[in-house]
Amino acid sequence: MVYGYCRVSTKHQNLKRQIDALLNYGVERENIFVDKITGKTLERDGLKSLKTVLTSGDTLVIKEIDRLGRNRKQTTMLIKELIENNVEIIALDMPYLKDFIIEEIKRNKGFMEIMATTLLAMVLEISEQERNKIIVRTKEGRDKALEFGVKFGRKEKISKKKFLYHYKEMIQYDGKPIDLQKKLGICKQTYYNYKRKYIKGESAYDKSKQ
């Protein structure tokens, strides 16, 4: 059986690029396992589910080798585990991984295995360096954009001016926060987030009226 695995580091990143690559290779969609959380540990739901179905003779397809783990040690540990369980590993962006590294690790013992393992470590080091470069470039680009006034993050649902206008109106007419929430179409948590952000201090008024 052929399975696929995809991972992104945050819930806001998109898995589509990886999934499309696996589908184009021929992996069935129902056989693709995904994780959309940080890879600090191998204890990930998608990976754990994948490992429960993988059996000897199966093939695991990934787009990039570093999708298996967050660092060299973690990735190497998982690759060796898969090899020991006789699972074939195919990295689409690194076709030579299977033929020139993994096959040598499986076929040879002693000196050649050490050489192949060392080469694997070098490959993972390059992947890790490339990932770090992307992180640095992204941060530099973000910092530069901030210098030019570009704003990141979720767009405010209500402007400061609008919130303060209706908040003062509520205070003036002895209204209740819940009424203001309904008027502005915001939840209780959002209301208090705005209040903490725009109103200095927090009076006991709101809590008594809520």
Pair 44, 18 in one domain: yes
Is 174 found in the same domain as 134? no
Whether 81 and 171 map to the same domain: the answer is: no
- 47, 56, 123, 158, 208 from 166: Cα distances, Å: 49, 65, 59, 11, 19
Q: Are residues 119 and 195 in the same domain?
A: no
Confidence of residue 202 (pLDDT cuts 50, 70, 90): very low
Structure pTM?
0.52
Q: Is the same domain home to 131 and 173?
A: no
Q: What is the mean pLDDT of residues 13-31?
A: 91
Per-residue exposure over 156-179, b if at least 16 CB sit within 10 Å of its own CB, e if not? eeeeeeebeebbeebeeeeeebee
* Domain of residue 187, residue span: 160-209
Q: Which of 9, 49, 56, 159 is catalytic?
A: 9
Looking at 90, 112, 145, which one is the last position of a domain? 145
Indicate which CATH number applies to the domain containing 130.
Answer: 3.40.50.1390
Min mean pLDDT across 151-155, 174-178, 195-199 is at 151-155
**How far apart are alpha carbons 165 and 77 in whole angstroms?**
59
Residue 65 to residue 97: CA distance in whole angstroms: 9
Report pLDDT for 39: 46
Question: Which pLDDT band holds residue 205 (cuts at 50, 70, 90)?
Answer: very low
Residue 127: pLDDT band by 50, 70, 90 thresholds?
low
Residue 203 lies in a domain: yes
Q: Which residue has the higher pLDDT, 129 or 76?
A: 76
Residue 150, domain member (yes or no): no
**In-domain check, residue 61:** yes
Interval 137-159 mean pLDDT: 64
**Main-chain dihedrals φ then ψ at residue 32, nearest 5 degrees:** -100, 125
- 74 and 120 inside one domain: yes
Q: Give the residue with greater pLDDT, 30 vs 131.
A: 30
Of 184, 185, 183, 173, whose CA–CA distance to 209 is shortest? Answer: 173
> Is 96 within 8 Å of 38 (Cβ atoms)?
no
Average pLDDT value over all residues in the chain: 76
Query: Exposed e or buried b for every residue in 122-134, given b needs 16+ CB within 10 A?
Result: ebbeebbeeeeee
CA distance 93 to 24: 13
Respond yes or no: is residue 208 known to be catalytic. Answer: no
Are 105 and 129 contained in the same domain?
yes
Q: How many domains is the chain built from?
A: 2
Asked whether residue 16 is domain-assigned, the answer is yes
Residue-wise pLDDT for 45-103, tens only, equals 888 999 999 999 999 999 987 788 766 777 777 888 888 888 988 888 877 666 556 66
pLDDT band at 206 (very low <50, low <70, confident <90, very high): very low
Between 29-38, 71-80, 99-108, 162-171, the lowest mean confidence (pLDDT) is in 99-108
Q: Look at residues 145, 170, 185 and tell me which one is the last residue of a structural domain.
A: 145
Q: 179 Cβ partners below 8 Å, 6+ apart?
A: 170
| 155 lies in some domain | no
If you count them, how many residues does the chain have? Answer: 210
Q: Report residue 110's pLDDT band, with 50, 70 and 90 as the boundaries.
A: low
**Would you say 185 and 194 are in contact if contact means Cβ atoms under 8 Å apart?**
no
Instruction: Determine the residue type at 165.
Output: Y
The residue-averaged pLDDT of 33-45 equals 70
Lowest mean pLDDT among 23-27, 34-38, 124-128: 124-128
Q: Are residues 127 and 185 in the same domain?
A: no
Structure tokens at 106: 């499986």
pLDDT of 182 reads 87
